Amino acid sequence: MATSQVETVSSAADKAKLAAVAALVVAAIAGFYLLSKQGPLVQWAVLLVGLVVAVAVFLISEPGRRFVGFARDAWREVKKVVWPTPKETTQMTLYVFGFVVVMALFLWFTDKTLEWVLYDLILGWRK
């Protein structure tokens, strides 16, 4: 059985920061709807500023720093991927289409053969 390690927020400061993040997101969304009479520019400005502040607070917390480290590692791994050339992509696509056509013909032939064996030879329904 595989064991998974669950990390929890341990320091009171990080818990407070994450609570502030949640409060800022809720406040930004509430501000967006409560300021509907001020016009869309004010609404979107309040929403965006609130979300940017929430992200900034999250990034200075320990879970935020771990997330940034994870994102950097993931981006570093994505850079190592060797992507196929356009010629390779075209060739593989044609191989897949060719295989699909061959399989379709094989399945059609198998179906018709079984149909002939069962209905014509064994049951004699089609004469």
| Shared domain check, 75 and 19 | yes
The CA-atom distances, in angstroms, between 61 and each of 24, 36, 55, 72, 78 are 15, 32, 10, 17, 26
The number of distinct structural domains making up the chain is 2
pTM score: 0.57
Q: To the nearest whole number, what is the mean pLDDT of the chain?
A: 91
Indicate if the pLDDT at residue 31 is higher than 60. Answer: yes
Per residue in 60-83, pLDDT (tens digit) is: 999 999 999 999 999 999 999 999
4 domain-assigned: no
**Domain span at residue 117?**
83-127
| Shared domain check, 124 and 87 | yes
Task: Give the type of residue at 116.
Answer: W
| Shared domain check, 104 and 50 | no
The CA-atom distances, in angstroms, between 21 and each of 1, 38, 63, 104 are 36, 25, 12, 55
1 domain-assigned: no
**Long-range CB contact pairs, 5-14, < 8 A, 24+:** 7/66, 9/61, 9/62, 9/63, 11/62, 13/61, 14/61, 14/62, 14/63
